[in-house]
Amino acid sequence: MLLLPKLQNLPNNFPIEAAVRIELVEGIPLLHASSTVQERIETLLEQQQQSPLNYEEEQELDLYEEIDDYLSFINRTIRNLYLSQNQSDL
């Protein structure tokens, strides 16, 4: 049985609308963070290189990392299901 990880929180300024985009890769729909979310992550990472982030920013960046891990898990699962389905069709 496949266990889906559980997200505990979303960042406070996480855009509920248009937060995730769907991209077709070899006919498989994959989920990625939207350009808005990616820009925010890049801003936080650049800021982190200049000086330490404050607590809220550090928490926000950690939550974005958790969301990225979650999306990666979903994408791997979808891809594996697609590949196993295609193998059984052969």
Picking from 16, 60, 62, 7, the residue whose alpha carbon sits closest to that of residue 36 is 16
Q: Which residues contact 64 (CB under 8 A, 6 or more apart)?
A: 11, 33, 37, 40, 41, 44
The residue among 66 and 89 whose pLDDT is bigger is 66
Q: How many CA atoms lie within 13 A of 44 on its CB side?
A: 21
Q: What pLDDT sits at residue 7? A: 83
Q: What is the dihedral of CA 25, 26, 29, 33, to 10 degrees?
A: -10
What pLDDT, in 10s, does the model give residues 43-73?
A: 999 999 999 999 999 999 999 999 999 999 9
Confidence category of residue 14, pLDDT binned at 50, 70, 90? confident
